[in-house]
Amino acid sequence: MKHLLFSILASAAILAGNFTLSSFDIEGQLTKAQEFSGFGCNGKNISPELRWEDAPKGTKSFAVTVYDPDAPTGSGWWHWIVVNIPADENRIRTGASGKDMPKGAIEIQNDYGIVGFGGACPPKGDKPHRYIFTVYALDVPKLDLKPDTNAPVAGFMINAHTIAKASVMAYYGR
């Protein structure tokens, strides 16, 4: 059994290779630029720049998510879900949400109930929350999802077609 588990883990590492995600806008700490505007927050709600490299062979599209596992909901909070990013893309520009997304990309409704990026907005006085930005290399050119698809369904479809993923984490408190 140990050999089987090691083989599965080794295979996953080979598939992922050097697939990485980075950002000029996120350096461990989010700012007012990435804070939500609403729900008691007064940030600018600007989606950050994200870039990835060394996608694994067989990648046919990408998806991007931003998730806060520390949200006081019992199930976390989805801040951004993007699917159907073409395989020849390797970045999303600063402020692209809602206006300058890669051609063909679809933004999905987040847990604020809006389509597009919804910035950080942890409760005042809470410990800083973790915001996990993840890019997924997918084995299909397109997921059959619409902007009003809910986060659990989008997450299921993304995970069902993931070849590899890369993440960066940032913190934010207020």
Structural domains of the chain in order of their starting residue, each with its CATH number: 2-172 (3.90.280.10)
**pLDDT tens for residues 70-89?**
999 999 999 999 999 999 99
Report how far residue 46's alpha carbon sits from residue 66's, in angstroms, rounded to the nearest whole number: 13
17 or 82, which is more confident: 82
CA distance 115 to 45: 13
Nearest-angstrom CA–CA distance, 50 and 141: 20
Token pair for residue 59?
């990648």
Write the pLDDT tens digit of every residue in 21-67.
Answer: 999 999 889 999 999 999 999 999 999 999 999 999 999 999 999 99
pTM here is 0.90
pLDDT band, residue 147 (cuts 50/70/90): very high
